[in-house]
Chain A
Amino acid sequence: MPTSTRHLATAPSNADVSRYALRLGDDALISAQRMGEWIAAAPQLEEDVALGNIALDLLGQARALLTYAGQLEGAGRDEDDLAYLRDERQFLNAQIFELGNGDFGFTVARLLVTSTYQHALYAGLRHSADSTLAAIAAKAVKEVDYHRDHATQWTLRLGDGTAESHRRMQQGVDAVWPYVSELFESDALTTALAASGVAVDPNSLEEQVLVYVEQVLTEATLTRPEATVRHTGGRSGIHTEQFGYVLAEMQHLARSHPGAKW
């Protein structure tokens, strides 16, 4: 990448880059937590293993992103402090990641959207002017490629399967759809960071993500719904009712035994 073309008009502040890394890290962390809930509860043993492995990849990405967010913040918070000791309103993940797993069809529909989004995001972020974000993205893009492939295979199999699997897969897509547009919302932070070459403008990802998802849905004989409601707020700490329960389970141990080591 020709770095000379990326000279910054205004150098981004550490606080801004930290907040951006926190958003991406929270997406990955909460997604990992939800995927991990499927272990021992998925429709088949191989799927327990698959979703567990996907959760592990996402957790690894979250650790790198949260560690970096903490370093830039400069307040001495590490990945554990950020994961375990923040309250609901301080998490910046998009709401789609926190929704309850529901039916397997819903989980597959969500993973199809989120992994396609993360794939496009990390593919772009590989060229970030921020070398740490670029390194994290270069690694993550190869991992989420497998996640996207996995979700694609399941969508095809269930959508174009039996009448029952088709019905439940379509229900999943319908339920996830009102939460999709939040992923592509740009705001002052992403606009400024994208201008300085650090971030990928979320808005720029919308078309390619939806084209891929729609292609898969069509091949799976499913219909892309019209979003009549568009839920939003996660990037500024507004979450759904289900989010408190995710945090309660994820943070319980660390909060009950502060500073515990094993």
Chain B
Amino acid sequence: MSQIAPPQPAAIWQAVASVLDPEVPVLTIEDLGILRDLHLDESGHVEVVITPTYSGCPAMDAITADVVEALAAVGCHDVSVRLVLAPAWTTDWISEVGRRKLQTYGIAPPHHRGDGPVPVALSVRCPQCGSADTRELSRFGSTACKSLWSCRSCLEPFDSFKAL
């Protein structure tokens, strides 16, 4: 078997950055802002740093496994995934690309929290028909990061990504 060239940093980053979030499978972990860092040392060891959205996010184990698998596919087998809590993740880290993907997928993207101490309750636009005439059914939705809404115009229910 011929020698395989060691993977280049750009390819390594690309492999990790394209891992999908298992619970919102249109977003990559880069879109979501939970991929924090990647270190490649001289021995070829890759360390990936990720942070959870919520403390109890049950997807972290699956994401860790997916990162290891994605790196194996580009020839990196000496991999560690480190989980960090600080700084705490915020929905403001979801990229613009990510916000557009959410919208298209049928999940209303979170409003920007900014640095203000008081979260402002804003109307959420229906991702299906764009109407602002919507109402919150429950502050807690299908996963920890979403709330459940319904649209008075098109009568469809939808998820909204909670600002955190």
List the A side residues contacting B141 at CB < 8 Å.
Answer: 49, 53
Q: Which residues of A contact B38 (CB under 8 A)?
A: none
| A58 in contact with B86 given A53-B144, A146-B162, A150-B139 (CB within 8 Å) | no
Task: Check A50 against B85 for contact (C-beta < 8 Å).
Answer: no
Query: Of residues 131 to 155 in A, which have CB atoms within 8 Å of B's CB atoms?
Result: 131-132, 134-136, 138-140, 142-143, 146, 149-150, 153
Pick from A50, A59, A132, A135: contact of B139, CB below 8 A.
A50
Inside 8 A of A59's CB, which chain B residues have their CB? 56
Please list the 4 inter-chain residue pairs (A to B) with the smallest Cβ-Cβ separation, ordered nearest first: A60-B56, A60-B55, A135-B86, A50-B140
Output the nearest chain A residue to B138 by Cβ-Cβ distance.
A46
Q: How far is the CA of A142 from the CA of B84 in the complex (A)?
A: 16
Count, chain A residues at interface, CB 8 A: 29
Q: A31 — which chain B residues lie within 8 A by C-beta? A: none
Q: For A52, A53, A58, which residue has the most chain B Cβ atoms within 10 angstroms?
A: A53
Q: In the complex, are the beta carbons of A142 and B88 less than 8 A apart?
A: yes
Known: A139-B55, A140-B55. A56 touches B86 (CB 8 A): no
Interface check B11, CB cutoff 8 A: no
B139 and A64 contacting across the interface, CB-CB below 8 Å:
no
Interface flag for A61 (CB, 8 Å): yes
Q: Is A79 an interface residue (CB 8 A)?
A: no
B133-152 interface with A by 8 A CB criterion: 137-144, 148
- Please, what's the 1-or-0 string for B77-110, where 1 marks a CB less than 8 Å from any CB in chain A? 0000000111111100000000000000000000
Residues of B within 8 A of A198 (CB): none
Given contacts A46-B137, A54-B140, A138-B87, 10 further A-B contacts (CB under 8 A): A46-B148, A53-B144, A56-B56, A56-B144, A61-B56, A63-B56, A64-B55, A136-B55, A136-B85, A138-B88
Q: Which residues of A contact B139 (CB under 8 A)?
A: 50, 146, 149-150, 153
What B residues does A58 contact at CB under 8 A? 56
Q: Distance in Å from the Cβ of A255 to the closest Cβ of chain B?
A: 23
Q: How many residues of B contact A (CB 8 A)?
A: 24
A57 at the interface (CB under 8 A from B): yes
B1 to chain A, nearest CB (A): 35
A141 to B149, CA, bound (A): 24
- Taking CB atoms, residues of chain B closer than 8 Å to A53 are 140-141, 143-144
For the complex, give the distance between the alpha carbons of A228 and B163 in Å.
41
In the complex, what residue of chain A is closest to B162 when comparing beta carbons?
A146
Q: Which of A134, A136, A142, A153 contacts B164 (CB 8 A)?
A: A142
Chain A residues near B84: list those with CB within 8 A: 135
- In the complex, which residues of chain A have a beta carbon less than 8 angstroms from the beta carbon of B88? 135, 138-139, 142
A132 CB contacts on chain B under 8 angstroms: 85
Nearest residue (CB) in A for B164 is A142
